[in-house]
Amino acid sequence: MSRFWDNGCEIRYPPKKDEKQMKHEIIGKPDFPVVKIILDKNESVAAEAGAMVSMTKNIAIETSARGGIFSSMKRMVFSGESFFQNKFTAKDGSGEVIFAPETMGDLHFRNLNDETLILSRGSYVCGSVDLKIESQWGGFKSLFGGEGLMFQKVSGKGNLFFSSFGAIDEIDVKGEYVVDNGHIVGFEPALDFNIEKVGGLKSLFLSGEGFVCHFRGHGKVYLQSRNHSSFAVWADGWRKVENRQ
């Protein structure tokens, strides 16, 4: 296995089998992975602002409000994404870019073939420029969810890389399944869901579980083995307390 700091001078990847498949390698799974993408001449990849780790010198960066100003604004305000996104294009021959997610944890690849995937906010790392990324309101039923209020809807044809806090587990739901809101990375839109509380009234305040997503139908759910809200609450508990003047 090559290491992520190996430079892109020597490209050992086989030619592309599929025009839509980017040459890539995810290195360092599952704890601290990065994705190394080898771009052919004039091939591009889009990424969330701040995701780039390193790149060869022949890569041109174009920063834009992807999908227009309105859609970028919506994405920034509602799904916690950056207003601008970067597009990386290899000029004069092939080149290499390495991207890393924000969180400690895994990076997952999925090829979307005219499909849609709903991701929780902040999960998108990078992918084909043709993929459409929209913020989507979870509807009134998600109002109590906090976490689930806004989702990112990724659709179209192309490669998608998304990240998790902790490891990613893929669950094939057939029937019903219940997932803690803070542990959802994404799911397929074929699944119907309801935001509910788990347990009785006492559990609402004392279980530490908050709200859960009750899925019904057939489809995949991606879940993460750690919960960033719980971690943030834990970290907050260590903060110094300053007396009000």
Contact residues for another protein, defined by CB under 8 A? 30-31, 104-106, 166-167, 169, 171, 175-180, 183, 198-200, 202-203, 205-209, 214, 221, 223, 225-227, 230-231, 234-244
* Shortest distance, position 171 Cβ to another protein, whole Å: 7
* Shortest distance, position 87 Cβ to another protein, whole Å: 31
* Shortest distance, position 34 Cβ to another protein, whole Å: 15
Is the CB of 152 or the CB of 224 nearer to another protein?
224
* Shortest distance, position 55 Cβ to another protein, whole Å: 27
Q: Which two tokens stand for residue 128?
A: 């084909």
Question: Nearest Cα to 53, choosing from 79, 80, 33?
Answer: 33
Is the CB of 29 or the CB of 41 nearer to another protein?
29
Beta bridge pairs of residue 134:
153
| E-assigned strand segments in 30-149 | 34-39, 44-48, 52-55, 59-64, 85-90, 95-99, 107-120, 124-127, 132-137
AA identity, residue 187 = F
Is the CB of 25 or the CB of 169 nearer to another protein?
169
Q: How far apart are CA 3 and CA 70, in angstroms?
A: 40
Residues counted in the chain: 245
Is the CB of 21 or the CB of 203 nearer to another protein?
203
Question: Nearest Cα to 158, choosing from 46, 83, 54, 65?
Answer: 46
* Shortest distance, position 211 Cβ to another protein, whole Å: 12
Is the CB of 15 or the CB of 237 nearer to another protein?
237
